[in-house]
A and B are shown apart, each in its own frame.
Chain A
Amino acid sequence: MFDFLESGQYDLLGAFWVTVQLTLYSAVGSLVWGTVLAGMRVSPVPLMRAFGTAYVNLVRNTPLTLLVIGSSLGLSQTLGINLGGGTFKETGFRLAVLALTAYTGTFVCEALRSGINTVPVGQAEAARALGLSFFQVLTLIVLPQAFRAVIAPLANVLIALTKNTTVAAAIGVAEAALLMKEMIENEADALFAVFGIFALGFCLLTLPTGLLLGWVAKRVAVKR
């Protein structure tokens, strides 16, 4: 049943490695971009707040598939912005990371913002009453508490991101879903075996992440 694996025709590990790479690059990118957005959304400057809110509402409500396809058809093919990628393969990968970052950043932003909102205002007021500066309030009082509340939501964003990397198949990035499409077409007789392999691959990627980070989140949670 699994004899098609022995033919050496399919690079399963290679495809999943691309999935992992897409996840890692986009995770770092969206963590940075999401933090910037969250900073804007809680800032005292109305214009920045408005921009943050508008961006989050627009991008969250757009299908990720449209962003990925738009980055390929719009940015790369129409406007000629290839993000420095020389080959078709490189460009596709970078465009996918860009789209995933733009999309996932909004979820990171919302997770961080709700984390900051779990800290009672009284905490900051007490800190200010003690004469701590803005920077001290932020780093000693608010962020340590917010960070603990944010681990579980961020873990969920990471898991969702891992699954969302499959959308990159829409612009031909050679990750797991694209290989699965190819294998299903060539090995129609072994449909369940092919599906089982890829399902197992994703279970191995997502379930441990959820269990581990869920456990960490519980351990460090602030009891109120």
Chain B
Amino acid sequence: MNSVLYDVPGPKAKARNWIYTAVFLVLFALAAWWILSVMADKHQLDADKWTPFVTDGRVWTTYLLPGLGETLKAGAIAMVIALPLGALLGIGRLSDHAWVRGPVGTVVEFFRAIPVLMLMMFGYAFFVKFVPAVASDFRPLYAVVTGLVLYNSAVIAEIVRAGVLSLPRGQTDAAKAIGMRKGQTMVHVLIPQAVTAMLPALVSQLVVILKDTALGGSLLGLTDLLAANRQISANYTNTIASLVVIALIYIAVNFALTSFASWTEGRLRKSKKSTGAVVAVAEVDDLATGANSAGVA
């Protein structure tokens, strides 16, 4: 390995690396041993805490899978609604007219600055007060989706903007040269290419959305995957075991999506058919908060 920090190791460095490995292994083993012994003391490693996840199918069919379904449902609905809204806001922010750009920019900056939990709480109270037609069973889902949509359309707006700006200038120039209007350039030339460029960023924003649905499970009464912990640990008194299993399910789903995002990003960069323009997965966190773009706005 030749990085900016380290040269290819020689005999001395190799010996030193072995010492580091040994020291690290000892520290890691000590930490693991300490955690496991504390857990064993409190009977958290007993077989009856963990076996229900293997032997009792009802844990999965009654709690975990319906919970996961609710999590995915909330995330999917939020994404589907936020996408067109975000696209509109993103294009609005690129407008040549200051009276469009200004207000849209303010809306985007406003919703990016507020914690998504507060937007969900606001959504919940809003439905209680103004839309009583929504049955109280469905209110958590509505509130969570509302909060997610408000926040994520602002983030997606930034992704769309970054996607359009990532395209080479020549695309706009060429469209102008053959006599296209601004709207035509946007609809026929820029947006179709930006959609491809944005794909990795959008997939990784979906991961953020799925993680945020857990807020609904803990604070707004959504019966999602995280909320399944309450019911499972009430039945089997295995809080830690059920939290670990639930965490692993979240990690499996999100890790699959993250890997898919990086894979598409790699493909787009190497692609010979397109301009190679792409909004990187790593940029998403920056677009979501915006110290980078704050000066540009």
Contacts and interface: CB of A to CB of B under 8 A. Distances in A.
B224 to A, nearest CB: 10
B116 A215 contact: no
Interface string A90-127: 00000000000000000100100010110111011000
Interface in B191-234: 207, 210-215, 217-219, 226, 229, 233
Report the contact-size class of chain A (Cβ under 8 Å from the partner): 35 or more
B286 A152 contact: yes
Contacts of A120: 4
Interface stretch (B16-24, B54-62, B172-180, B269-277): B16-24
A85 B290 CA distance: 36
B291 A213 contact: yes
Contacts of A217: 291-292
Contacts of A163: 113-116, 289
Given A63-B250, A69-B226, A78 B240 contact: yes
A195 B126 CA distance: 11
A211 B113 CA distance: 12
Contact of B239 (A78, A191, A211): A78
Contact of A63 (B28, B114, B214, B255): B214
Contacts of B219: 169-170, 181
Chain A interface SS verdict (over half): helix
Interface in B1-35: 1-7, 9, 13, 17, 20-21, 24-25, 28
Contact of B115 (A155, A164, A191, A211): A164
A43 B21 CA distance: 11
B129 interface: yes
Given A164-B115, A199-B118, A202-B118, A65 B226 contact: yes
A210 B110 CA distance: 13
A80 B44 CA distance: 12
A174 interface: no
B294 interface: yes
B288 interface: yes
Given A62-B251, A63-B214, A80-B42, A121 B292 contact: no
A62 B286 CA distance: 19
Contacts of B285: 107, 153, 156-157, 160
User: Is the contact region of chain B dominated by helix, strand, or loop, or is it mixed?
Assistant: helix
Interface in A1-57: 42-48, 51, 57
A120 B215 CA distance: 41
Nearest to A49: B1
A74 B240 contact: yes
| Closest A-B pairs by Cβ, 9 of them | A63-B214, A155-B291, A61-B254, A65-B214, A163-B115, A159-B289, A214-B294, A63-B211, A214-B291
Interface of B: 1-7, 9, 13, 17, 20-21, 24-25, 28, 38-39, 42, 44, 109-110, 113-118, 121-122, 125-126, 128-129, 207, 210-215, 217-219, 226, 229, 233, 239-240, 243, 246-247, 250-251, 254-255, 258, 282, 285-286, 288-295
6 contacts: A44-B3, A45-B21, A79-B42, A152-B286, A166-B117, A207-B113
Given A47-B25, A188-B128, A207-B113, 20 more contacts: A44-B1, A44-B17, A57-B255, A62-B247, A62-B250, A62-B251, A65-B214, A66-B250, A124-B5, A134-B6, A152-B291, A156-B285, A157-B285, A163-B114, A176-B118, A195-B122, A199-B110, A202-B115, A214-B294, A215-B294
